[in-house]
């Protein structure tokens, strides 16, 4: 297989109540990515798009074709990926495979969502569609509830009393908000304290509002190309060193592993193995912190901390710039925002720009970073992992 | 190849407080909710069985938010229960005030009953759910 690189990136500001359509949001970030890659839309051979609920948000299915046409990628193959919150990452991983295989040389990958157009009740209903609709939705399944179940399980399994775990969870949110203040694309530009988290609205015990990411609108895009083409077009291609994807069934079927997410461990092992690297080699990480407890479970599943200890790592600052492994220096899903179809593409954007050294002007550069890993979780059943590299 | 224990049949039985599952004739594991294959060894050599309906609470949450159309259910308690035969299933705890459910619920023995979610425009019909009560 050929090596594949990111050669262009685009990212909208994530927000509530976007005034733009999904096609418009995608078109803007795509042209930014295309311009950065020093190509034109005519050079794009195929388009992949992550989009989850466009049907409910705008009454718009098949957004990928209208988007491709809108930006002048006339008549190319355009495909939509749906794996709940991992849709964008699936779209990227799939494009990497097509370019690596030699079938295409240049592809455009976008991700978009306009979740706030649904309003919170319908958004909660449609997000719950990514749990098992027959056997788990009837009990009142929502994603806050899923991670609440896992939080209580985590507390018991690792012997961390709930009040201590709540403090650890709060530390995750506090850090994300702090970095989001420095990210102009972030949805929430407001620092919060541990006390703010612990006094926020109780959503689903023990998860409070400030343990949870918001509903979001936004888009991100990347242009990817084969190594040979990338080197001709840009000065600093960022390479995909490893990719992985795995799936799992309904939450109850994962009983042997919970609160660990087995599919994440398998997906990241695929990435590490393909890259010939280990967690110790990573210089930064963007992981799926849809809830604070989800971030802790992810950091352990990716191999950065022992099971049951990642909350302490957050409290000690080991997840900040200068710490053992800088995590979610973008502000994460929690504060950067989580437009679900776009999130994985946004993570690739973030790590690419960190590896190119572009974040210094925002005051959140991980100096000298060579390897970064992204982790995206869709529903309770799609996990994607990708390792990016400067070399 | 025929799907041995369909949702339709599982749902109808649950409405009569019967929890149906599959017992694998190869490895002996129980699969519930049902699947095409044994959840343990992926064999299709299994038979439909009724589970005892008894189990222990593994984890829980009390929710103060709900999906569209279910706002009148809050607060409600979701429990994950390990049935005596082994499988975990998700249901509600209905025998106590949701606001009073705390960590000490974990490990308590519960008995299955049911409540029916009456359907919305996306659910393709009504859906029975396990509704557990504390046994002690």
pLDDT at A259 over 80: yes
Q: Does residue A68 lie within any of the structural domains?
A: yes
| Model pLDDT for residues A139-169, shown as the tens digit of each residue | 999 999 999 999 999 999 999 999 999 999 9
Per the CB < 8 Å rule, is B59 touching A149?
yes
Q: Does residue A137 lie within any of the structural domains?
A: no
Distance CA(A94)–CA(B94), nearest Å, equals 45
| Model pLDDT for residues A9-26, shown as the tens digit of each residue | 999 999 999 999 999 999
Regarding whether A259 and A188 lie in a shared domain, the answer is yes
pLDDT value of position A13: 98
Q: Does residue A195 lie within any of the structural domains?
A: yes
Regarding whether A50 and A173 lie in a shared domain, the answer is no
Strands of the sheet containing B19-24, edge to edge, are B30-31, B19-24, B46-51
The catalytic residue positions of A are: 85, 338
Per the CB < 8 Å rule, is B66 touching A205?
no
CATH number of the domain that A235 lies in? 3.40.47.10
CB atoms within 10 A of CB A69: 15
Regarding whether A233 and A300 lie in a shared domain, the answer is no
Average pLDDT over residues A249-278: 98
Regarding whether A175 and A270 lie in a shared domain, the answer is yes
What percent of chain A has a predicted confidence (pLDDT) above 90?
99
Per the CB < 8 Å rule, is A144 touching B73?
no
- Split at pLDDT 50, 70, 90, the class of A208 is very high
Regarding whether A319 and A194 lie in a shared domain, the answer is yes
Regarding whether A264 and A180 lie in a shared domain, the answer is yes
Q: Does residue A129 lie within any of the structural domains?
A: no
Q: Does residue A231 lie within any of the structural domains?
A: yes
Q: Is A80 exposed, middle or buried (0-12, 13-18, 19+ CB in 10 A)?
A: buried
DSSP 8-state assignment for residue A254: G
Regarding whether A234 and A187 lie in a shared domain, the answer is no
Regarding whether A357 and A262 lie in a shared domain, the answer is yes
- Whether residue B21 lies within 8 A of chain A, CB to CB, comes out as no
Per the CB < 8 Å rule, is A135 touching B61?
no
Q: Which domain holds residue A368?
A: 142-211+240-389
Name the minimum distance, in Å, from the CA of B90 to any CA of chain A: 6
| Contact residues, chain A, for B103 at CB < 8 Å | 152, 155-156, 162
Between chain A and chain B, the number of residue pairs with CB atoms below 8 A apart is 116
| Model pLDDT for residues B66-98, shown as the tens digit of each residue | 999 999 999 999 999 999 999 999 999 999 999
pLDDT at A205 over 90: yes
Rounded to two decimals, the pTM is: 0.98
pLDDT value of position A380: 82
| Contact residues, chain A, for B63 at CB < 8 Å | 140, 142, 144-145, 148, 203-205
pLDDT value of position A67: 98
Per the CB < 8 Å rule, is A138 touching B129?
yes
User: Residue B8's closest chain A neighbor by CA?
Assistant: A134
Average pLDDT over residues A54-60: 98
Domains recognised in chain B with CATH numbers:
7-51 (no CATH), 54-134 (2.40.50)
Q: Does residue A165 lie within any of the structural domains?
A: yes
Regarding whether A207 and A106 lie in a shared domain, the answer is no
- Whether residue B50 lies within 8 A of chain A, CB to CB, comes out as no
Can you count the helices (H) and strands (E) in chain B?
Answer: 1, 8
Per the CB < 8 Å rule, is B64 touching A201?
yes
Regarding whether A221 and A184 lie in a shared domain, the answer is no
DSSP states along A348-375: HHHHHHHHHTTTGGGT---TT--EEEEE
Regarding whether A355 and A219 lie in a shared domain, the answer is no
Please give the tally of structural domains in chain A: 2
Instruction: Provide CB contacts within 8 A for A67, sequence distance 6+.
Output: A22, A23, A26, A27, A30, A47, A49, A78, A110, A112
Which residues are A220's β-sheet partners? A11, A111
Selected for mutation to probe chain A from B65, B83, B94, B132 (highest A CB count within 10 Å) is B65
Q: Does residue A355 lie within any of the structural domains?
A: yes
| Contact residues, chain A, for B78 at CB < 8 Å | 139-141, 145, 149
pLDDT value of position A70: 98
Which pair of structure tokens corresponds to residue A54? 């466009």
Which pair of structure tokens corresponds to residue A118? 């649904």
pLDDT value of position A257: 97
Regarding whether A188 and A59 lie in a shared domain, the answer is no
pLDDT value of position B136: 72
Q: Does residue A126 lie within any of the structural domains?
A: no
């Amino acid at each position: 297989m050929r090596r594949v690189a990111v050669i262009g990136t685009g990212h909208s500001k994530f927000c509530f109540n976007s005034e733009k359509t999904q096609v418009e949001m995608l078109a803007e970030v795509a042209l930014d990515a295309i311009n950065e890659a020093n190509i034109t839309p005519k050079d794009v051979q195929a388009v992949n798009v992550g989009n989850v609920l466009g049907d409910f948000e705008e009454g718009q299915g098949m957004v990928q074709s209208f988007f491709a046409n809108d930006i002048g990628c006339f008549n190319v193959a355009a495909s939509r990926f749906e794996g709940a919150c991992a849709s964008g990452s699936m779209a990227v991983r799939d494009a990497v495979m097509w370019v690596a295989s030699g079938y295409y040389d240049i592809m455009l990958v976008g991700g978009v969502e306009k979740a706030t157009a649904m309003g919170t009740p319908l958004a909660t209903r449609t997000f719950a569609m990514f749990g098992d609709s027959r056997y788990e939705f009837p009990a009142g399944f929502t994603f806050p509830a899923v991670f609440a179940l896992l939080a209580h399980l985590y507390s018991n399994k690792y012997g961390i009393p709930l009040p201590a775990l709540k403090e650890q969870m709060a530390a995750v949110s506090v850090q994300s908000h702090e970095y989001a203040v420095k990210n102009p694309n972030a949805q929430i530009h407001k620092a919060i304290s541990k006390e703010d988290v612990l006094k926020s609205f109780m959503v689903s015990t023990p998860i409070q509002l400030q343990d949870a990411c918001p509903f979001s609108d936004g888009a991100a895009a990347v242009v990817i190309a084969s190594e040979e083409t990338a080197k001709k077009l840009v000065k600093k291609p960022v390479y995909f060193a490893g990719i992985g994807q795995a799936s799992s069934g309904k939450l109850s079927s994962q009983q042997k592993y919970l609160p660990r997410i087995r599919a994440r461990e398998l997906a990241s092992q695929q990435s590490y193995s393909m890259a010939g690297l280990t967690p110790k080699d990573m210089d930064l990480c963007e992981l799926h912190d849809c809830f604070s407890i989800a971030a802790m479970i992810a950091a352990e599943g990716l191999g950065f901390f022992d099971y049951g200890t990642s909350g302490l790592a957050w409290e000690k600052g080991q997840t900040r710039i200068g710490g053992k492994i800088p995590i979610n220096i973008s502000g994460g899903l929690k504060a950067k925002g989580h437009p679900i179809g776009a999130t994985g593409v946004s993570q690739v954007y973030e790590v690419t720009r960190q590896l190119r050294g572009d974040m210094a002007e925002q005051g959140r550069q991980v100096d000298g970073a060579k390897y970064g890993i992204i982790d995206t979780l869709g529903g309770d059943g799609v996990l994607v992992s990708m390792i990016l590299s400067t070399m | 190849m025929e799907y041995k224990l369909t949702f339709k049949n599982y749902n109808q039985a649950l409405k009569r407080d019967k929890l149906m599952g599959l017992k694998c004739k190869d490895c002996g594991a129980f699969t519930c909710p049902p699947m095409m294959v044994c959840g343990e060894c992926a064999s299709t050599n299994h038979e439909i069985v009724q589970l005892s309906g008894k189990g222990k609470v593994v984890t829980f949450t009390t929710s103060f938010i709900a999906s569209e159309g279910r706002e009148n259910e809050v607060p409600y308690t979701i429990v994950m229960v390990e049935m005596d035969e082994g499988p975990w299933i998700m249901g509600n705890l209905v025998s106590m005030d949701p606001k009073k459910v705390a960590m000490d619920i974990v490990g308590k023995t519960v008995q299955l009953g049911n409540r029916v979610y009456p359907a919305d425009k996306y659910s393709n019909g009504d859906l029975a759910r396990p509704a557990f009560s504390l046994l002690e």
